[in-house]
């Protein structure tokens, strides 16, 4: 397995310099993730930059972000923004679907999605930009909770396990558009279902041994801090703030995917 001056992956050792880099990167990623998703934009490139091989980088990123998402989900639940009766069916289906997605990824390529998803995310960004009032008020639901959970829990949960980028954006737009939630509550709902898919995919990757634990543990510390701060910003700044961060993250994610092609 390849090494770098910062990381010696074959011995699972991480240098003090790398610990510092990973801690601050994960703190920033956690803060962004709690607000609008897309923390992987920071965590995965950072892990790759310090010399961790791609498979280990993806597994380590998923493991540390899972714990961070637990923090923001707890913060939103404590603030009364998560209706567990409503979100539980989607969480269960998302959990199962994410494991299926991770398993299928082992046997196929996600290259086709890599070509399609940037255009889908561009559409999400354009839609949100052209609808400045999106998610500012509660609207009647267009779909039952059960059907929504089955349809989007299955589709987006599978997508998160199989590919992943933009999962939070797709969830948030679906929740606002079809369940009628305002943006703050939609963000909280998104974190709960993201937690389910993260746990499913992370469990599978941990079972496969694709997590570099010294790196993951220091990043978990940063994630807990970042997610707490990010959730606090959402609770105090509201939907207008979420919308701005959401647009920046989706545009940045879209550009990164186009550049990766």
Contact 154, 97 (CB under 8 A): yes
DSSP character for 80? T
pLDDT at 115 over 60: yes
Amino acid 3: pLDDT: 42
Residue 208 or residue 115, greater confidence: 208
5 in any annotated domain:
no
Per the structure block, which two tokens stand in for 224?
């807990």
Most confident residue range from 16-20, 160-164, 254-258 = 16-20
Tens digit of each residue's pLDDT (9 = 90 or more) over 210-223 = 899 999 999 999 99
Does residue 8 sit within a domain? no
pLDDT at 161: 85
Lowest mean pLDDT, pick from 3-7, 99-103, 178-182, 221-225: 3-7
- CA–CA separation, 21 vs 224, rounded Å? 16
Q: Is the pLDDT of residue 162 over 70?
A: yes
pLDDT at 114: 74
DSSP state for residue 229 in the 8-state scheme: H
Domain count, the chain: 1
Whether 28 maps to a domain, the answer reads: yes
Distances (CA, A) of 35 to 145, 186, 228: 24, 11, 10
Q: CA-CA distance, 90 to 45, in Å (whole number)?
A: 30
What pLDDT score does 261 carry? 63
On whether residue 6 sits in a domain, the answer given is no
**DSSP reduced 3-state for 180:** coil
- Does residue 4 lie in a domain region? no
Q: Which pLDDT does position 253 carry in this prediction?
A: 86
Q: What is the pLDDT of residues 57-91, one digit of tens each?
A: 888 999 999 999 999 999 999 999 999 999 999 99
- Judge whether residue 6 has pLDDT over 70: no
Is 128 part of any domain?
yes
CB distance 223 to 27 below 8 Å: yes
Q: What is the DSSP letter of 133?
A: T
Residue 24 lies in a domain: yes
Residue with tokens 């634990």: 213
Domain that holds residue 150: 13-260
Report d(CA 76, CA 231) in Å as an integer. 7
Q: Where are the beta strands (DSSP E) in the chain?
A: 7-8, 13-14
Whether the pLDDT of residue 230 is over 90: the answer is: yes
Q: What is the pLDDT of residues 132-147, one digit of tens each?
A: 877 878 889 999 999 9
Tell me whether residue 7 is in a domain.
no
Q: How far apart, in whole angstroms, are the C-alpha atoms of residue 158 and residue 173?
A: 17
Which candidate, 196, 233, 222, places its Cα nearest to that of 68?
Answer: 222
């Amino acid at each position: 397995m390849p090494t770098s001056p910062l990381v010696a992956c074959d011995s699972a050792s991480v240098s003090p310099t790398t610990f510092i880099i990973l801690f601050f990167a994960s703190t920033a990623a956690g803060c962004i993730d709690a607000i609008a998703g897309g923390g992987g934009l920071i965590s995965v490139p950072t892990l790759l930059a310090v010399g961790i091989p791609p498979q280990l980088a993806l597994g380590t990123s998923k493991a540390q972000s899972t714990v961070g998402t637990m923090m923001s989900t707890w913060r939103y639940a404590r603030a009364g923004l998560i209706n567990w009766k409503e979100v539980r069916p989607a969480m269960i289906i998302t959990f199962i679907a994410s494991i299926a997605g991770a398993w299928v990824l082992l046997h196929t390529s996600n290259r086709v999605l890599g070509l399609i998803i940037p255009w889908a995310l561009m559409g999400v960004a354009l839609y949100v930009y052209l609808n400045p009032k999106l998610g500012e008020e509660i609207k009647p639901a267009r779909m039952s909770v059960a059907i929504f959970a089955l349809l989007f829990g299955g589709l987006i949960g599978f997508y998160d396990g199989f590919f992943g980028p933009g999962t939070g954006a797709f969830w948030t737009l679906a929740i606002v558009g079809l369940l009628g939630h305002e943006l703050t509550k939609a963000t909280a709902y998104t974190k709960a279902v993201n937690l389910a898919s993260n746990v499913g995919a992370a469990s599978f990757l941990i079972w496969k041994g694709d997590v570099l634990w010294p790196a993951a543990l220091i990043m978990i510390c940063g994630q807990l801090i970042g997610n707490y701060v990010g959730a606090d910003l959402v609770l105090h700044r509201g939907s207008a703030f979420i919308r701005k961060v959401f647009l920046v993250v989706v545009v940045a994610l879209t550009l990164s995917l186009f550049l990766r092609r």
